[in-house]
Structures are given as structure tokens and as C-alpha cells.
């Protein structure tokens, strides 16, 4: 008995039906089901599927890397193209910018790719830049399975969107803005024209960014030089914020006034009186009858000169001849010391008659003298000018800002000329301080909060805290005590009217910037102070600033401060602080060498106060040095310099694009 054979027979008897069944099954299934030594055959059979799987994974991993890289490059390209897009025009330069950014982010030959294509477009009327990119990647292993390459394509889209935005332009419109500057392409352009163009480009960019949205976009303008024109804004808000808002109010100006010669007539009357007495004797012996006849002027002899009847009763006879009055009085006769009629018939004495004549001569003398007075009266004539600080009534002058109200006679002239208030102001009371700081409670001057001019938000409550009308026609200065020169023709400057925040059409903005005039000197503190007042959410115009935008979005607040020069300071110019050499509001002393430095410190304190209100402050130095002060004034990363009009436009565009939200939308 052989066990092995028995076993073999048993196995063979079992294997035969199994083998018969396996003949009918696929090879791989038979291999899997077989319990015989089939490791090598199975391994060999699995090599090809495993190669396909591993090779596919490798190639797909490469494809994923290529797609990720080309998608990143596509996104970078459309973002750059949209940022370079000028307003709503997708220019060739913008397309080239997009291509450059794509090329930088996707290097040719990456992962052996070929036929790299990148295209961009801007659908008409939209703020989008659309892009598509594709490439061909050769496979490593999948080529063995009939897939020698893979085409990888992506799309991308960038859009400039805008939230509710308030932008206040504080624009230097001083006399130097009439100078020319290179335009960046070989020509030249007047600075203020370049400014107008750049503002319009800025407007177009934001308009394009807000197209199709419900975002509210508002603008405010504050042109400045040595003054700022905000009078009508204050007048419309509340006349009581201004000196002159009440009838009879006056304000002192550095000016002149006429001195009048006024005639004064005096009449003096004098009376000259002369008296004379005449004794007339009739005969030496008279009887009573003859004396009586004599006394009664009977048989009067004309030769005696008596041509009128005597008056025995003593009443005077008066004769008036012009200013000569003659009074004649007759006295009764006497005889031997006895008065008539005490004579007796036996008495024969001399008969005497006395005549008293009084002559009064009246003389009237009229004398004219002259007195000097600053007040005109009927018949007065001009004598000379008196120069100094004099108060003039300003209530009617204040109202003249409205065309419906009459102009007023200019008090510093004698020719009947009239004036209207143009809208510039003299600032409210300040302190002649040296150091200024922006604190949580406002700007302090030498630690005091009583510099009312630097208080951005306070509403006027007294004369000290009210603004005063700037009367351009009345300012004069005393040159050397004898020669006098008017401030006109460069010594006064009142720029275009400032505007409150408001939505504006393109035509409205264009009309406004076209009306900007260049005049005066560069007082940065003046422009920024009133830019702050018009933009402050806590200030005088907060009802406008905080008006509901009509949507659920928040409001982004910006201020663009553009200047073509450095801060200046003049003591002889009539500015928002009066005439410094006489008024001494800033320095406290004439020709104080610290005037410029004090204005500089004011200006920087105002910058800090603006930023503390959550307003992003942008600064552009146009054709001038971007100083450390300007960079300090600006918010972080918000200062630009432009040496020509092209760079100015670029600066405004960069600001507009940063104000907008540039984002990928696909």
C-alpha cells in the first residue's frame, strides 16, 4: 500500500473535474482561482495595468501642476489688465500689461508644455476683463496607451467693484497752476488743465467700477490757495454761524476810510448904537403962545431941517432904512428949569426944545469853517485817506452773496463803487501758539483747546467762534507810512466755491473742474482744515456726510490732497487769518520768523485729525518734491509724486483702483 500513490490518485481524481471547469474560464480568472504556483504569471499579467495606473497618475499630477500654474498666470494677467484699464477703455497698453503678467507667471516650456495661448477681452459696457489660457502637455507614460499629449485650458475673469464711496478733493489752485509742465510724451500742458483731465479720468474709473451696482459714489471739492470759498455753504446752513448774520453787526478790517471836509456856517449879528441930543432955542423972549406954536411946530421953518411933526408927548418916531434904524424923541420945552406948561403969561423967557436922536446900525456877518469827519454829510468834500483797522457794517454785505439781494457800497472808496461777498472767509479766533497736537478731543494749541479755528467739528456759539466775511475790496496796507497800495492784484485771493458731498454726473464734474481758477499762494493748512470740516462725520455738515446710502453697505471715506508746491506763508497778504503783519493772529508779532513753522505744525496736526476720523488721506505732489511732511500727512502707502501730466493721471488712476475693489470673479 503506497500512501503517496493513493494520495496522488485522490488529488488527480479531484483535479480532473476542476481542470475541466477551468478550461471554460478566462486565463486571469483561472490564475486567480488556481491554488497552484501562479505568482509569477499573476505578477506578469498585472504589470501592464499597473503601468497604466501609475503612468496615468504621474501624467495627471503633471497636468494638475500645469493647470494650477496656468490658472494662476491667467488670473494674474486679467487682474493686471483690469488694473491697467483706463476708465472703461481696454487699451492696447492694458492688454500688453495683462500679457506681461501672464508671461511672468507662466514660463515658456514649463513641464515641457507647448503652444501656450493667452487671450483677454473686455465685454462692451462692463468693468470686466475676461481671459482664457491653454497649452499642450506631452504625457510621459500614457503615450504607451495611445494618449501622447493632454490639452489643458482654463478661463479667468477680473472685475473692479466699488462699495459706497465718498471722495473729497482738496486741490491746490494757486497761481503756479497756470504754469506749464511736460505731458510725458514730448509736449507740454498747463498744470490746471492736467489736473482737470486727471480728475475726470478718476471719475471715469470709479463710474466704471460702480457700473451695474447699487453703490453710492459721492464727491466733494475744496479748491484752496490763501483762502477757501465756503461762505455760501455756511450761509445756507445757518446765517448765525457768521458775523453779520444779525442786523447791525460789524467787523474790523485792515483797510482805509475817507476823511471828509464838512462845512460849518456861523452867522454873527452886531448892533452899533449912536445917540445925539440937540437943544433948539426959539428967540430969546417968547410968550407962551409963541412957545406953544414952536412946540407944536406951527409956522415951522423948513430951513431948520425939521420935516416932520414933533411929538410933544415924548413918544419916539422910528424910521428904518435897511439895517439902519433912526429913533427920534422930542422932549417938552422948559423955561427957566420949569417944564411946560408951567409958564405964566407974565413969564417971558427963552423957549427951548430938546431933540434926542438914536441911530442903531445892525451888521450880520456869515463865516464858513470846515471840520474833518469819517462820516459823509451833505455838502462834504473828500479830504484824504486814513489807514488802519476800522469796523464796517457787514450784515448787508453778508446777504449780498445771494444775487437776489443788492450789492453794498464799498466803504473804502469814494467813487460810489459797490461790492458783493464772494464767499471767502476770515477764520474764527485762534491762539498765537507754537505747538499743535491732534488729540482724541481735537487739536490743541500749546495744550489749549481754545484755538477755535482748529476745531473741526464745533458749531459756532459766539462771536469768537463765528466766521467772518472776507471783504476782498476793502483790504489795504500801509507800505511805509506814506505810500499806500491796495491788496488787489495778488494780495487777495478767493478761489472757486467748495462743494458738499453729493452724487454728481460726469457733466457736472466736468463743468466744475473747468471752472477752477488759479490764484494766490499755497496755504496747505487752509485747504486741509476745510476738507476736514466738509468730510467729518461728526462735524458741521454731518447730516450730509452721514446720509443713508440707500443700501446695506458701509461707506468708504477718502480725501485726495493734491499740491504743486510747498507750504508758503506771507505776512502782507490778506488771507483767511487777516493781514498777519497787523492782525498777528498766528504769530502774535509782526514779521515773526516763526510764521511759516507755525503754519507747518498746524497743517500736520490737521492731517492727523483727518486720519483719526477714519478718512484715508491720499497725497499727490505734482511737479514738486514729495517731502517728508507730505508723506507724514498721508495715510500709510498713500503718497505719490508726478513730474508730468501723464504721471499725475497715473497717480489718480492708482488711487481710484485702490479705492475700488479689484477682484477675481471667476
pLDDT value for 128: 84
- Could you tell me the three cell numbers for 522? 499755497
What is the per-residue pLDDT for 165?
95
Residue 65 has φ and ψ, to the nearest 5°, of: -65, -40
Report pLDDT for 612: 95
Residues 93/84, Cβ–Cβ less than 8 Å: yes
pLDDT, tens digit, for every residue of 101-114?
999 999 989 989 99
pLDDT on residue 615: 97
- Mapping DSSP onto H, E and C, the string for 410-454 reads CCCCCCCCEECCCCEEECCCCCCCCCEEEECCEEEECCECCCHHH
CB 235 within 8 A of CB 401: yes
| Separation between Cα atoms, residue 641 and residue 619, nearest integer Å | 8
Give the number of other CB atoms < 10 A from CB of residue 132.
Answer: 16
| pLDDT for residue 304 | 38
Report helix, strand or coil for 401: coil
| Residue ranges per structural domain of the chain | 40-159, 176-249+394-623+633-664, 268-363
Q: Which residues in 56-89 are b (16+ Cβ under 10 Å) and which e?
A: beebeebbeebbebbbbbbbbbbbbbbbbbbbbe
Of 557, 535, 532, 559, the closest CA to residue 217 belongs to: 557
Residue 246, SS3 per DSSP: coil
Q: Any residues with CB less than 8 A from the CB of 303 and at least 6 apart, and which?
A: none
pLDDT at residue 306 in the model:
33
What lies within 8 Å, CB to CB, of 83 at 6+ separation is 97, 160, 657, 662
Answer whether 412's CB lies under 8 Å from 216's CB: no
**Helix/strand/coil for 540:** coil
Weakly modelled stretches of the chain, pLDDT under 70: 1-56, 86-88, 125, 143-146, 279-315, 329-354, 479-490, 590-593, 662-663, 665-666
Amino acid at each position: 500500500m503506497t500512501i503517496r500513490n493513493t494520495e496522488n490518485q485522490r488529488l488527480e481524481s479531484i483535479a480532473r473535474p476542476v481542470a475541466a471547469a477551468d478550461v471554460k474560464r478566462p486565463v486571469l480568472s483561472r490564475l486567480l482561482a488556481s491554488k497552484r504556483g501562479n505568482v509569477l504569471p499573476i505578477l506578469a499579467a498585472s504589470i501592464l495595468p499597473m503601468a497604466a495606473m501609475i503612468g496615468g497618475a504621474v501624467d495627471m499630477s503633471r497636468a494638475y501642476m500645469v493647470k494650477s500654474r496656468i490658472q494662476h498666470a491667467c488670473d494674474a494677467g486679467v487682474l493686471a489688465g483690469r488694473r491697467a484699464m483706463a476708465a472703461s477703455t481696454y487699451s492696447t497698453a492694458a492688454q500688453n500689461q495683462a500679457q506681461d503678467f501672464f508671461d511672468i507667471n507662466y514660463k515658456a516650456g514649463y513641464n515641457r508644455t507647448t503652444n501656450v495661448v493667452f487671450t483677454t477681452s473686455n465685454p462692451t459696457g462692463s468693468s470686466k476683463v475676461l481671459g482664457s489660457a491653454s497649452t499642450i502637455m506631452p504625457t510621459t507614460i500614457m503615450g504607451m496607451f495611445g494618449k501622447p499629449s493632454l490639452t489643458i485650458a482654463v478661463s479667468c475673469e477680473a472685475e473692479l467693484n466699488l462699495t459706497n464711496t465718498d471722495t473729497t478733493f482738496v486741490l491746490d489752485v494757486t497761481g503756479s497752476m497756470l504754469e506749464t509742465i511736460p505731458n510725458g510724451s514730448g509736449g507740454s500742458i498747463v498744470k490746471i488743465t492736467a489736473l482737470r483731465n486727471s480728475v475726470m479720468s478718476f471719475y471715469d474709473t470709479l463710474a466704471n467700477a460702480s457700473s451695474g451696482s447699487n453703490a453710492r459714489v459721492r464727491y466733494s471739492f475744496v479748491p484752496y490757495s490763501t483762502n477757501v470759498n465756503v461762505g455760501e455753504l455756511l450761509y445756507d446752513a445757518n446765517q448765525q454761524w457768521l458775523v453779520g448774520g444779525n442786523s447791525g453787526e460789524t467787523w474790523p478790517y485792515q483797510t482805509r476810510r475817507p476823511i471828509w471836509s464838512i462845512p460849518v456856517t456861523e452867522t454873527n449879528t452886531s448892533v452899533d448904537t449912536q445917540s445925539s441930543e440937540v437943544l433948539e432955542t426959539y428967540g430969546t423972549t417968547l410968550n407962551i403962545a409963541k412957545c406953544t406954536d414952536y412946540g407944536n411946530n406951527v409956522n415951522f421953518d423948513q430951513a431948520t431941517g425939521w420935516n416932520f411933526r414933533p411929538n410933544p408927548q415924548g413918544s419916539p418916531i422910528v424910521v428904518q432904512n435897511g439895517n439902519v434904524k433912526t429913533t427920534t424923541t422930542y422932549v417938552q420945552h422948559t423955561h427957566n428949569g420949569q417944564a411946560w406948561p408951567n409958564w405964566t403969561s407974565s413969564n417971558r423967557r427963552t423957549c427951548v426944545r430938546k431933540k434926542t436922536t438914536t441911530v442903531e446900525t445892525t451888521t450880520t456877518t456869515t463865516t464858513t469853517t470846515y471840520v474833518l469827519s469819517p462820516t459823509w454829510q451833505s455838502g462834504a468834500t473828500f479830504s484824504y485817506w486814513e489807514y488802519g483797522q476800522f469796523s464796517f457794517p457787514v450784515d448787508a454785505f453778508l446777504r449780498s452773496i445771494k444775487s437776489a439781494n443788492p450789492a453794498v457800497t464799498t466803504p473804502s472808496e469814494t467813487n460810489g463803487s459797490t461790492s458783493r461777498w464772494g464767499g471767502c472767509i476770515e477764520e474764527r479766533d485762534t491762539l498765537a501758539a507754537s505747538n499743535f497736537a491732534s488729540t482724541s478731543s481735537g487739536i490743541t494749541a500749546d495744550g489749549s483747546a481754545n484755538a477755535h479755528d482748529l476745531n473741526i467739528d464745533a458749531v459756532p456759539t459766539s462771536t469768537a467762534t463765528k466766521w467772518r466775511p472776507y471783504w476782498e475790496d476793502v483790504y489795504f496796507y500801509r507800505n511805509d507810512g506814506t505810500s499806500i497800495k491796495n491788496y488787489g492784484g495778488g494780495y487777495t485771493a478767493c478761489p472757486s466755491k467748495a462743494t458738499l458731498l453729493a452724487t454728481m454726473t460726469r457733466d457736472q464734474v466736468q463743468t466744475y473742474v473747468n471752472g477752477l481758477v488759479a490764484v494766490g499762494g499755497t496755504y496747505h493748512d487752509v485747504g486741509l482744515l476745510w476738507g476736514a470740516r466738509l468730510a467729518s462725520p461728526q462735524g458741521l455738515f454731518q447730516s450730509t456726510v452721514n446720509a443713508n446710502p440707500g443700501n446695506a453697505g458701509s461707506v468708504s471715506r477718502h480725501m485726495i490732497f493734491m499740491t504743486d508746491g510747498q507750504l508758503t506763508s506771507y505776512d502782507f497778504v490778506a488771507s483767511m487769518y487777516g493781514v498777519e503783519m497787523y492782525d498777528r493772529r498766528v504769530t502774535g508779532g509782526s514779521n515773526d520768523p516763526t510764521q511759516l513753522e507755525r503754519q507747518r505744525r498746524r497743517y500736520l496736526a490737521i492731517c492727523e485729525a483727518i486720519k483719526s476720523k477714519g478718512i484715508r488721506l491720499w497725497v499727490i505732489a505734482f511737479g514738486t518734491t514729495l517731502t517728508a511732511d507730505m508723506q507724514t500727512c498721508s495715510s500709510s502707502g498713500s503718497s505719490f509724486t508726478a513730474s508730468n501730466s501723464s504721471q499725475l493721471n497715473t497717480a489718480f488712476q492708482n488711487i481710484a483702483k485702490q479705492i475700488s475693489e479689484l477682484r477675481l470673479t471667476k
